[in-house]
């Protein structure tokens, strides 16, 4: 009888753990979706994009130094915490999840907390608070509901930032293609420099002042100039091709960043709607559908269509 009681206790304990700490699959899926966000493009591309804009399209505004890469890092840290809270019965603040931001990123997150932009500062503070929480049955709902308003604000701002950058990249691509088209056209033959009046007045020999059309030296000079122009044009054309490839990679990265941030915020909003029933059977399919939509946007762009980036 005792052994049966022990077994029953084990089964009940396992069921309690499963239903409480390890079965929030929709929350875990949302956390994993947020961890797909890559803030490096928001951190590194603006400087390179600014250089391209200054060289080819100075009329376009340079990207302002921002903190969007740090905001994206904070989103990833929070998403990692969500997954941890959904899959563990207790989370030690000193474990790998709590230290998912490196020492440098910790400093950045601290800077975000003092940012003049209230939405960013509030989001950063909420992330810090969430990462310091150990799991309790009521904690997960509290974290999700408290962080969501700040997450939605900074998510919308980051998405708008990506739209601006995508538009600038597409403008640069257009300018670069125009330059490439010009380089591909037939370059005019070089003109022979006219003798300077000063040289003629100084009594320079006629042979050095002007050359006849059939002079071998003149023919050689023209041939050399054409060769130089041809090589220069080829190098410039190759440079335009490389720039277009770089811009395409940046645009693709911005599209993916936008898709992942949008999906994470949408999935998190669904969690808020069902925060008191996070184990609802219909919640996980909703999160999966959001994730598939983000993947479809990325695949649509990779297939060669940029219209998805404009909408």
For the stretch 158-180, pLDDT in tens is 999 899 889 888 888 888 888 77
* The predicted structure's pLDDT at residue 280: 86
* The predicted structure's pLDDT at residue 33: 92
Structure tokens at 256: 């993916």
List helix spans (H) across the chain: 2-20, 25-34, 40-56, 68-87, 103-113, 118-131, 139-184, 197-201, 206-209, 216-273, 283-302, 307-310
Q: What CA–CA distance (Å, rounded) separates 271 from 33?
A: 13
More confident residue, 217 or 105: 105
pTM of the model: 0.70
Please, are residues 39 and 69 in contact by the beta-carbon 8 Å criterion?
Answer: yes
The answer to whether residue 189 scores a pLDDT higher than 60 is: no
Confidence of residue 34 (pLDDT cuts 50, 70, 90): very high
* The predicted structure's pLDDT at residue 178: 80
The answer to whether residue 157 scores a pLDDT higher than 70 is: yes
What's the rounded mean pLDDT across residues 288-302?
83
What's the rounded mean pLDDT across residues 210-238?
54
The answer to whether residue 283 scores a pLDDT higher than 90 is: yes
Q: What is the mean pLDDT of the chain?
A: 73
Structure tokens at 100: 């998912």
The CA-atom distances, in angstroms, between 1 and each of 4, 7, 11, 61, 297 are 5, 10, 15, 79, 60
Residue appearing with tokens 């809270």: 85
Would you mind telling me the total number of residues written for the chain in this entry? 311
């Amino acid at each position: 009888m005792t052994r049966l009681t022990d077994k029953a206790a084990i089964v009940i304990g396992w069921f309690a753990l499963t239903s409480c700490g390890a079965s929030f699959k929709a929350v875990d899926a949302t956390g994993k979706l947020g961890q797909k966000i890559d803030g490096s493009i928001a951190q590194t591309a603006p400087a390179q994009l600014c250089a391209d804009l200054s060289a080819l399209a100075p009329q376009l505004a340079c990207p302002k130094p921002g903190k969007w890469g740090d905001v994206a890092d904070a989103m990833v840290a929070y998403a990692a915490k969500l997954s941890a809270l959904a899959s563990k019965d207790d989370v030690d603040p000193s474990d790998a999840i709590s230290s998912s931001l490196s020492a440098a990123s910790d400093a950045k997150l601290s800077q975000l907390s003092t940012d003049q932009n209230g939405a960013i500062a509030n989001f950063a503070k909420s992330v810090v608070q969430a990462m310091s929480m150990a799991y309790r049955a009521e904690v997960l709902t509290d974290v999700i509901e408290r962080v969501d308003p700040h997450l939605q604000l900074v998510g919308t701002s980051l998405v708008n930032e990506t739209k601006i950058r995508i538009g600038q990249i597409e403008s640069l691509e257009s300018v670069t293609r125009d330059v490439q088209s010009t380089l591909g056209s037939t370059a005019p033959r070089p003109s022979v420099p006219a003798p300077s009046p000063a040289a003629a007045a100084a009594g320079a020999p006629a042979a050095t002042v002007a050359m006849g059309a059939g002079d071998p030296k003149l023919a050689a000079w023209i041939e050399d100039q054409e060769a130089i122009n041809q090589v220069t044009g080829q190098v410039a054309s190759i440079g335009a091709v490389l720039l277009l490839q770089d811009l395409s990679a940046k645009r693709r990265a911005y599209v993916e960043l936008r898709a992942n941030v949008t999906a994470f915020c949408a999935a998190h909003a669904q969690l808020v709607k069902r925060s008191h029933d996070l184990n609802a059977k219909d919640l996980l399919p909703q999160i999966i559908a959001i994730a598939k939509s983000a993947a479809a946007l990325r695949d649509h762009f990779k297939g060669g269509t940029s219209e998805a980036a404009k909408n």
